[in-house]
Chains A and B, each alone.
Chain A
Amino acid sequence: MAVVDIAELTKVFRVPEREAGLRASMRALFRRRHRDVRAVDSISFAIDSGEVVGFLGPNGAGKTTTLKMLSGLLYPTAGEARVLGFVPARRERDFLRQITLVMGNRNQLQWDLPALDSFDLNRAIYRVARDDFRRLRDELVELLDVGDLVRKPVRNLSLGERMKVEIVGSLVHRPQVLFLDEPTIGLDVTMQKRIRGFIAEYNRRYEATVLLTSHYMADVEALCRRVIVIHHGRTLFDGQLAQLGSQFAGYKTIEVALANGAADLSRYGDVLERDADRVKLRVEKADASRVTALLLSEQEVIDLTIEDPPIEDVIELVFAGAAE
């Protein structure tokens, strides 16, 4: 059964609009102009229990707006949404107790107090039994290795440290559905990796369903087998991450190591890189096997690998294609 199920979900914001300058200000006193912005435009998808899905798109694509509708913060303009069988916009307590929305740049902990106090406040808010709370809190603290951080006032923590304790605070009620909006934003590579590992472990241990937005493809590659790509509020792709490349990237890269490193390979495809005896070529997907055969027969090949393009490049292609 789908844990997240949305159909034709739409959100339109009505925003005031005027030109710059005093004259425009005066005019706006008498005649206000508004513009309807379709932040999310009839998107539909379903996510099964225990799935970790990457929700991708450029800035302003509608990702955060969708997450806010799914967590009950925003009322949809049209369409239907159900999470765990609840209509999020109704904000029923049983629904809110089973979800969490983590925003990477937002602090929800008590700024002046150690995070442990905020965790305890969340325990009271979510009515978690004290024993269950202590067990889960200690488990999460250990998983994220924040034992020495949770006793310091939150204001004294670095961004990365704060993000880790923020995540613990968002999970002490053991939510079944996690909406994660850029959970690794602004963090260094080590910290990103640690948080990725934690999300994967939480998903495995509690069979939680995760919908994750991130601009870091490493997050998506490490966590999500399935991705949903949106742009201008519309779904461009919904499927396995592995299929994204084959659907949107019309080329493959061939990396070849040659005995004669100086050989000119430009007749086989576009030369992307050349480093000593190694050459990276871009070839049309349909031509990949023919070019490989030619290279092997015509050149003295020491090593050869064929790869789909990096996911960052594919995503860029998807967005570029949508913009055209």
Chain B
Amino acid sequence: MVDFYVTAMRTQVQTQFQYRAATYMYLVGMVAEPVIYLVVWTTIAKQNGGQVQGITVGQFAAYYIVWTLVRNMNIVFTPYGWEWRIREGQFSAALLRPLHPIHYDIAEFAGGKLIWVVLYLPIAAALTLVFDPDLSVTPLEVVVFFVAIWGAYLIRTMLLWLLGMVTFWTTRGSAIFETYIMAELLLSGRLVPLKLMPEWTQSVADFLPFQWAFYFPIQTLVGDLPAAELIGGLGMQVLWIAVGSFLVWVCFRASVSRYTAVGN
């Protein structure tokens, strides 16, 4: 399996090299979302005496700059992609391979991320110069961050695989994805740091996986969390990965029997 992951990731790195300019433009475009959030919250914080509920302008800058890296890491195969591959019959090739198709998706996107992250670093440097983030990190936080962003990647892969498998029942699974995105925006720390959400929202978020794919990895660098919380957070990620893997396994068995291999 290690050989497969190494080979598949290497193949994807080679593919990304073919389209480096396009990938770069895509990454630059992706910065728009956090910059909008950052400008809005910076403006509110300045009007509010330099902070909002204890978060300073510099901390907002740090939050959203780290956000962009976490967002890069948790981009995975979406239900739009699922619709395409089921409609076009591309999933047939995946089903003919003697390994679970999720491994191929994980390896393929992981390979892409190795390039995206390298390309992203100059963008992060530019954002740092413009927005002057307030960020000081310890070696432990850096180590936990690098583990947590891969944990976030796996959690989001499981979640979107579960959504993607809806395509076996309806060819318009992406409609459900839109609802999912709304929940994720509000309950993951993607739109707003969870700390700024009403208490009841934070309580709901505690029972859901979304924050472990966004808020927690960001907080490992910007939240000054104690070691116990950092390790505990990784534990929660492992838990959600395990739950996600189990659900994917169960649902895939039920889904694949419905596959009609349309379009080939």
Please, how many residues of chain A have a CB less than 8 angstroms from a CB on the other chain? 34
Q: What does DSSP make chain B's interface, helix, strand, loop or mixed?
A: helix
Contact of A121 among B11, B19, B261, B264 (CB under 8 A): B11
Cβ A117 vs Cβ B97 within 8 A: no
Stretch touching chain B among A47-55, A89-97, A276-284, A295-303: A89-97
Cβ A112 vs Cβ B18 within 8 A: yes
Query: Within residues 180 to 209 of chain B, which ones have a CB less than 8 A from any CB in chain A?
Result: none
B69 contacts chain A at the CB level, 8 A cutoff: no
A241 contacts chain B at the CB level, 8 A cutoff: no
Cβ A103 vs Cβ B96 within 8 A: no
User: Once bound together, how far apart are the Cα atoms of A120 and B256, in whole Å?
Assistant: 27
Return A118 CB to nearest CB of chain B, in Å: 8
Return A124 CB to nearest CB of chain B, in Å: 4
Total CB contacts across the A-B interface at under 8 A? 73
Query: Within residues 18 to 41 of chain B, which ones have a CB less than 8 A from any CB in chain A?
Result: 18-19
User: Once bound together, how far apart are the Cα atoms of A121 and B14, in whole Å?
Assistant: 12
Residues of A within 8 A of B260 (CB): 13, 74
B259 contacts chain A at the CB level, 8 A cutoff: yes
Query: Given A75-B257, A106-B264, A125–B95 Cβ distance below 8 Å?
Result: no
Cβ B98 vs Cβ A124 within 8 A: no
A198 contacts chain B at the CB level, 8 A cutoff: no
Q: Which residue of A lies closest to B16 (CB)?
A: A112
Contact of A73 among B4, B15, B99, B261 (CB under 8 A): B261
Cβ A121 vs Cβ B7 within 8 A: yes
User: Once bound together, how far apart are the Cα atoms of A18 and B15, in whole Å?
Assistant: 43
User: Once bound together, how far apart are the Cα atoms of A13 and B4, in whole Å?
Assistant: 35
Query: Given A91-B95, A96-B96, A101-B96, A112–B261 Cβ distance below 8 Å?
Result: no
Q: Which residue of A lies closest to B103 (CB)?
A: A125
A113 contacts chain B at the CB level, 8 A cutoff: yes
Cβ B93 vs Cβ A108 within 8 A: yes
Cβ A125 vs Cβ B99 within 8 A: yes
User: Once bound together, how far apart are the Cα atoms of A110 and B257, in whole Å?
Assistant: 27
Residues of A within 8 A of B15 (CB): 110, 112-113
Cβ A106 vs Cβ B95 within 8 A: no
Query: Given A103-B264, A112-B19, A125–B97 Cβ distance below 8 Å?
Result: yes
Query: Within residues 109 to 168 of chain A, which ones have a CB less than 8 A from any CB in chain B?
Result: 110, 112-113, 117-118, 120-121, 123-127, 153
Q: Show 25 A/B contacts (Cβ-Cβ < 8 Å), sorted by A.
A: A68-B261, A72-B96, A73-B92, A73-B259, A73-B261, A74-B259, A74-B260, A75-B259, A93-B98, A96-B98, A97-B98, A101-B96, A105-B264, A106-B93, A112-B14, A112-B18, A112-B19, A113-B14, A113-B15, A113-B18, A118-B11, A124-B6, A126-B97, A127-B4, A127-B98
B: residues with CB less than 8 A from A are 3-4, 6-8, 11, 14-15, 18-19, 89, 92-93, 95-99, 256-257, 259-261, 264
